[in-house]
Amino acid sequence: MRQSLLRWISIVAAVMALTLPTAGYSQTIEEKPSALAMTGDALFARPVLFGMTVVGAAVYVVSLPFSALGGNLQEAGEILVMGPAKATFVRCLGCTRVGKKEEVVVLEEEY
């Protein structure tokens, strides 16, 4: 009886582990930030992220010899400098994901 119950629980756990990640990918997310999100981003998040970029660049320069010896210059630069810089300068205002928002171009037909 106990082995049957354990088998049933393990089957349910395996099925859930395999199906839950696909549910996250099935819905497309289209960000349309509100005015409040844009204002908060411009007044609070961007200055903090800019400060993190400057501090990360300073830490990267200080840790440069150690990163070179460890062989992870690119990884350290990506984490300490490029990640905060992308979140500061590339992310659309009020958006939560890094990247430019897709622009929709409408071509007018000539008659």
Instruction: Report d(CA 87, CA 49) in Å as an integer.
Output: 7
Question: Domain extents for the chain?
Answer: 30-89
Query: Interior CA angle at 57 toward 51 and 58, to 5°?
Result: 95
Question: Are residues 81 and 60 in contact, defined by beta-carbon separation less than 8 angstroms?
Answer: yes
Residues in the chain, overall count: 111
> Within 10 Å of residue 78's Cβ, how many Cβ atoms?
13
Across the range 22-30, mean pLDDT stands at 48
Instruction: Tell me if the pTM is above 0.85.
Output: no
Residue of 48, 49, 33 whose CA lies nearest to 90: 49
Q: What is the per-residue pLDDT across 50-107, written as a single tens digit (0 to 9) for each? A: 999 999 999 999 999 999 999 999 999 999 999 999 888 888 888 877 766 666 666 6
